[in-house]
Amino acid sequence: MPNSIKASFTSANFSGRRTAWINFMPVHLLAESLALRPPPYLAIVSGLLQVCFGMMTWPLRDPGILASGDGGLAPSLRLWQNRRWEVRPALIMNVLLFITSHRMGGAEHYLLRLAAFLRERGHRLVVVSKPQAEVTRRLREQGFFVHTWPMGGKGDVFSLLRLVGLIRREGVEVVNTHLSTAHWWGGWAGRWTNVPTVARVAATHRATWLRHASWWWAVSEGVKEHLVAQGLPSERIVVLYNGLDWVRFQSLPPREEARRLWGLPAEAVAIGTVANLVPRKGHRFLLEAVAQVQRDFPRPLHLLWAGEGPARRALERRVEEKGMASQVHFLGYLSDVRPLLAALDLFVLPSLQEGLPNAVLEAMAAGVPVIATEIPGLPEAVVSGQTGLLVPPAQGEALAEALRRVLRNPEEAQHWALNARRWVEGRFEQRRCLLEVEAFLQRVAQGES
């Protein structure tokens, strides 16, 4: 069977209609993939369907699922929103998911979604995590058995040996690692057991701890370019977006109710950020920028920061020094950010280093205007002047000017927000992205290049 046989129907534009798509394999090949004997005329019918749908195709991004005929990957027929019919995968994998987590963040949330999806698709999962991690508790709440043991740092040989034994005992076919310590141990364990390892790389970190993986899964083109620049082979790096269940963000709590929840004055402008409180997220530059803008802006500017991390005390001291304690709200970790997004006038992500954060996609899907830094990954979501505004990183003055532009031109910002919502719907639909991940892992498990 040919390596990539698919057709797509996309109804999408920037005039207000929602995005829909249908991905399918021709009917006669679908029958073959299910080990059926199709009658000869079925190929003719299938060809006509391809021609009919092909004439109506205008994709924002090629929505095709990665496929390989020789590997036996099953096709999928995608219907609008939740009305889906998807053929079960012909290859059932035994996948080890490994994360070394300290706190809940983007990697942990993604692992939860990936594990639930792979289980739903019928694959067997072996999950490894730290015993006291929040992600471990959540995985167990969802009914997963999680292998845990006291894990040290990257020099913990005992943990490496435990991992090697687990891979052999469970008959693992592919190892998927999340975060740097998992990448390090997983890469070595994969080499030791001759099992392929896929490292999911979600930010522009150094490649030191990644080098022993078999494959690298970059969450954006920007991350891939960063890895290639550090000497990793381009042909073994695959870009697979996280995706977003954007339908969840179409119905937010009432705005006034959300603003009362966070104690915002009626006249306040609410500027929000969702990110761990660590230096590389750039909160200090946003604080400086807001302090500058507040000097000549008549309405009070309030910052709402969702997230936890080691930089919190230092940020609180900076806030006190600037006399803005009543205007900066430290909200802590939020399991559901929709009540926050409903209250915002503007979302700002001032990061110095990212991959392609879901926090930005969530704000865009919720229809909140976005300002972000122009670092690898973010321009793939935020098209400056069309779906938001990009500014240079670590430059408080440039960020202040961007804030002034948005605050003085709310109609322009709302136009960006409308475009952004449609862009996310068309390019980052979660189910399609997860199917692409599944297909890639299947190919790796089968030893395909």
Chain length of the chain: 449
- Nearest CA to 89 out of 424, 434, 401, 388 is that of 434
Instruction: Report pLDDT for 203.
Output: 87
What's the mean per-residue pLDDT of the chain? Answer: 83
- Give the per-residue pLDDT at 242: 92
Question: Could you tell me the maximum CA-CA distance found in the chain, to the nearest angstrom?
Answer: 78
Predicted pLDDT of residue 57 = 29
Low-confidence ranges of the chain (pLDDT < 70): 1-88, 90, 449
Instruction: Quote the pLDDT of residue 18.
Output: 30
Instruction: Give the pLDDT confidence score for residue 102 in this predicted structure.
Output: 79
Instruction: Report the pLDDT value the prediction gives residue 86, as an integer from 0 to 100.
Output: 59
Q: Residue 153's pLDDT is what?
A: 87
Position 87 scores a pLDDT of 58
Q: Which domains does the chain have, with CATH numbers?
A: 7-86 (no CATH), 94-243+429-445 (3.40.50.2000), 246-427 (3.40.50.2000)
